[in-house]
Structure 1
């Protein structure tokens, strides 16, 4: 029996599938992994994947059994970049952060309830964290970039998100709503967010929000590294650097 869904539900599931594939780039992703990531039945996930591939939105490596983003998405993305892409403006700031701190530096963009990493530059320090990479997605409130953006959203918007997100289930007690509210306040007070190894033990991050022309947090600059590089004495310096570059980039966008 063929499974059918109302139109809006189909669009939502296609979006979930595309995000799952995007988050697995450049290595690609198998059908079973897509089904698991989207909570879809495997036959349903396969039908959606195959349909997207037929339209050019995905490519399928039949030998490896993995799905990749397709040429149609590249073409659409090239057009959309004229409105949404700030990577060229941000590149100098991401590079400067990597050079000045020695850590890996990033630009992440808000996409709905998630952040997606769109730019990475590694610093000179030889030991690096690979929690974040280009294409990696996290829910808002998870990782320093997502916490920085969430902290500067309007209060009502952030509250509605905290109620529906259920981050504690997947990311642990530090992501429970009450604990996140405390961390949001700490971020607002400091101006920048800190992730003290909450995703991978020993891998720390710090982030600062970048604001669009309407004054909304739409991107974030962040740095990651090993715990010993984020000492109590060094964190204020790193925070000031992040805020300086985030403010300069926000002013360029305006």
Structure 2
């Protein structure tokens, strides 16, 4: 990897870290640790990004936040990539029908990022997933659903380079992830049986772009007692129904 490519990679890591820390922002040390770079390098990059308007700094707390230039760029890119308006009615319908929290997540490289959340009527909720939260593919139900519908060759390469077990525990060994991929392909939807936070379950279904690639996911989360085997089947059916409808709408957009 040449020097220029390394700098771009570091900048990407810094911006993703700040995105995950919104709206509170993050200090320089936190950004450095999460981005895998030294504190002086993080400070240098953040200062340069601030000069261009890509990040901002709260003068009261000293925390760094995403800047106004990214908002402007995001507004321009939204016409192509943002499907939250189209997906909103599906999230509302899922939350209303199930009582659980419903989410839309988008694939971004080797991760999924939560774009939108709608809470159902059941008073006990899981807050593992929230808007702006990122997980690697294969972690959480949304990322598991997206990963399962990639090609086998791509999955092999991804699992070779990913550090899921080191970052997310023994339930995310390559063998365990492959077992959940097989289950997801059989069911059509992914099941997260409390692997991130004990007692917090999730189901996810992939949404495909017009080229047939898994680019988004709809998911439901809630407490374990609400995700019995019989109810999982019903929740999965609803998720697949709405994921298919959303996929079809995107093809016709």
Q: Does 1:184 align with 2:184?
A: no
Deviation at 1:165, TM superposition (A): 0.3
- Return the alpha-carbon distance in structure 2 between the equivalents of residues 108 and 61 of structure 1: 28
2:24 to 20, 24, 27: 27
Q: Structure 1: any 5+ residue segments left out of the alignment?
A: none
1:8 match: 5
Matched, 1:246 2:246: no
Count of residue correspondences: 250
Matched, 1:171 2:168: yes
Partners in 2 of 1:163 and 1:236 — Cα distance?
Answer: 32
| TM-score normalized with structure 1 length | 0.97
Distance 1:192 1:6 in 2: 41
Q: Does residue 92 of structure 2 align to residue 103 of structure 1?
A: no
Q: Deviations over 1:151-176 (max 9, x none)?
A: 00111111110111020001111110
Aligned counterpart in structure 2 of residue 46 of structure 1, from 43, 47, 64: 43
What SS does structure 1 have at the residue aligned with 2:229? coil
SS at match of 1:100: helix
Aligned counterpart in structure 1 of residue 125 of structure 2, from 128, 143, 148: 128
Take 2:70 and 2:197, find their aligned partners in 1: how far apart are those partners? 31
Which structure 2 residues correspond to residues 62-141 of structure 1 after superposition, within 5 A?
A: 62-141=59-138
TM-score scaled by structure 2? 0.97
Note the residue ranges of structure 2 that are not aligned, 5 or more in a row. none
Q: Which runs of 4+ in 1 moved over 2 A?
A: none
Q: In the alignment, does 2:156 pair up with 1:151?
A: no
**What SS does structure 2 have at the residue aligned with 1:218?**
strand
SS at match of 1:17: helix
Give me the whole-angstrom Cα distance separating, in 1, the residues matched to 2:233 and 2:70.
40
Q: What is the CA distance between 1:65 and its match in structure 2?
A: 1.6
Q: Matches of 1:155 and 1:215 in 2, distance apart?
A: 15
1:153 and 1:137 map into 2 onto residues whose CA distance is: 19
CA displacement at 1:62 relative to structure 2: 2.1
Corresponding residue number in structure 2 for 1:212: 209
Matched residue, 1:193: 190
2: CA distance, partners of 1:235 / 1:247: 18
